[in-house]
Structure 1
């Protein structure tokens, strides 16, 4: 990296900026055609929000599971086997 000093610094420009003459003139922005930002909330997100609002969440259970996941003790072979059996029951 080379630093040349202040001799290569650009001088002050008008409020339009140094390249405004290259834009071909200014055009007013039409806000009538603007649709604005849009978003969709998934069904899972709505269900999660409703669970939080209703107070159905068990904070003690959530805290315990988070701690087990962080410690690496949450996923046990028994839990994996039970999950696989439920998955196969749903598929078959």
Structure 2
């Protein structure tokens, strides 16, 4: 089928000489052994290690919960550091 612009569409054309299928040729040996090889980049290896990590670091969660319960988590120094980081991001 030939398409000439958006207004002229012709019907399917007959198959002719240059489009005739060629005789199947036997694959040529290139001296390559039949061994496949896979090289994994360091980045892909790191990503696969990240997927193996647990979703929640329970020891960290338990530590912070204990600090909150005892009233020692929100110290003035931590609040000042958080405020400073926030102002750095805004400014």
Q: Same fold (TM over 0.5)?
A: no
- TM-score, reference length from structure 1: 0.40
Larger RCO, structures 1/2 (Cα 8 Å, 6+ apart):
2
- TM-score, reference length from structure 2: 0.40
Which structure would you say has the larger Rg? 2
The structure in which a higher percent of residues are helix is 1
The structure in which a higher percent of residues are strand is 2
